[in-house]
Amino acid sequence: MQHIIDRFTKYIKIDTQSDPNNEAFPSTEKQWNLAKILVEDLKDIGLQDVTLDDNCYIMATLPSNVDYEVPTIGFIAHMDTSPDYSGTNVNPQIHKNYDGKDIVLNKEQNIILSPDYFDDLLLYKGQTLITTDGTTLLGADDKAGITEIITAMEYLIQHPEIKHGEIKVAFTPDEEVGKGAHKFDVKKFGAKWAYTMDGSQIGELEYENFNAAGAKVIIEGKSVHPGYAKGKMINSLLIANDFIASLPKNEIPQETEGYEGFFHLHSINGSVEKTELQYIIRDHDRKLFEDRKEQFKKTAENINSKLGQNLIQVEVKDQYFNMKEKVEPVKYIVDIAKEAMEGLGIKPIVKAIRGGTDGSQLSYMGLPCPNIFAGGHNFHGRYEYVPVESMVKATEVIVKIAEKTAKRALKN
């Protein structure tokens, strides 16, 4: 456990926040800081063919230790943290033998992580939790996944009695801004299938995810002196308010669950003269997803029609699609992960992701890629935490998948 704690806290202290407004690749230079450290760590534990390319993708290989053919599999995690909350000066707090009560993250600011609000905390009573100090996110999304993959590879190298085929490892930039797989070289990676270690609660196993789009709404106004504005001023902020109010009020993240889709307004920047809204649009069902995008565009058209001017411009860009379509034909790769969990006494929680991972895009690029728990909770904010025991179990799942894949190949 201490080995995992030390490795994880080393990684989360390196700021790797990505930037959705920067078209560069990676979107922030600081992602290179962690990438260079990971390259050295992968070499130090004994992996081969460790590379860091010009786009900040890391790949490495653990050679097979058997004399028969085993499919090459991969494990993937992302290096960047969410732009939604600061990742600068992360100061992790370690709480051993959690007692099930409130955790004071920051006494001065009265920031409390409470099971009264985050009831998942009670699942981990008696365990060791790593939390923030209330001023940043933690970075378990997805540095927990990175930690688990490296630790599992290290364990396999140190325990050659565990038989496995060739294993590929990859760490990607910019997953949090939807670009994590955009320049991923599937051919170079060379795996038949892979798993992203990017889920949350212990036991999660996911091969369905949202269809996703990003949307920008630009509203043009006209600013004049408010004392003489009658019949002349056009307040883009008020038009923006009309647009927001015209979308279904209950189809938002905080009112939806399961397979229910939503429109999520996550940014407003405006003045009388011009206002910009940033949305994400999500739905698991492809037809409902397409209908939702059309509804979004139609909302702008209707308001423009009422105004008698085209003051609202809408840009909608697809980001990724539901991986289910690509994974179901090779469902045995999900079954291997499920059996690995069950063999370790972990109850698999097979459910649809209310989000996406690099795996959703990679599956459409020819690399089927289900998602496995990394252990963290409350991603993208100050209340993020991870139980160390869940990270240990995730590491064990990786090892067990490698072992089961080799045994399956021998039987076949």
CATH at 257 = 3.30.70.360
- At residue 351, what is the residue type? K
- Angle at which helices 140-158 and 2-12 cross, to 10°: 140
What are the pLDDT digits (tens) for 236-273?
999 999 999 999 999 999 999 999 999 999 999 999 99
On whether both 205 and 351 belong to a single domain, the answer is yes
pLDDT digits (tens, 9 = 90+) for 217-231: 999 999 999 999 999
Which of residues 320, 337, 365 is at a domain's end?
A: 320
Query: Would you call 318 a catalytic residue per the annotation?
Result: no
Task: Provide the number of structural domains found in the chain.
Answer: 2
Among 320, 353, 382, give the residue marking a domain's end: 320
Active site residue: 19, 174, 175, 358, which one?
A: 175
The answer to whether residues 202 and 393 touch, using CB atoms and an 8 Å cutoff, is yes
Please enumerate in sequence order all residues whose Cβ is within 8 A of that of 158, keeping only pairs 6 or more positions apart, or say none: none
Q: Are residues 280 and 177 in the same domain?
A: no
338 lies in the same domain as 399:
yes
Q: Are residues 223 and 330 in the same domain?
A: no
Q: Are residues 247 and 371 in the same domain?
A: no
Tokens 């407004």 belong to residue:
21
Note down pLDDT in tens along the chain; length 412 residues: 899 999 999 999 999 999 998 999 999 999 999 999 999 999 999 999 999 999 999 999 999 999 999 999 999 999 999 999 999 999 999 999 999 999 999 999 999 999 999 999 999 999 999 999 999 999 999 999 999 999 999 999 999 999 999 999 999 999 999 889 999 999 999 999 999 999 999 999 999 999 999 999 999 999 999 999 999 999 999 999 999 999 999 999 999 999 999 999 999 999 999 999 999 999 999 999 999 999 999 999 999 999 999 999 999 999 889 999 999 999 999 999 999 999 999 999 998 888 877 898 999 999 999 999 999 999 999 999 999 999 999 999 999 999 999 999 988 7
Cα–Cα distances in Å, from 352 out to 175, 206, 281, 361, 367? 18, 6, 16, 15, 19
Tell me which residue of 60, 8, 4 sits closest to 34, measured CA to CA.
8
Mean of the per-residue pLDDT values of the chain: 96
Q: What is the rounded distance in angstroms from the CA atom of residue 96 to the CA atom of residue 231?
A: 65
Q: Are residues 109 and 190 in the same domain?
A: yes
141 flagged as catalytic: no
* Whether residue 23 sits in one domain with residue 141: yes
Catalytic residue from among 80, 141, 166, 174? 80
Secondary structure class of 197 (helix, strand, coil): strand
Q: Do the Cβ atoms of 348 and 205 come closer than 8 Å? A: yes
- Domain containing 75 equals 2-209+322-411
Give per-residue pLDDT as tens, 110-137.
999 999 999 999 999 999 999 999 999 9
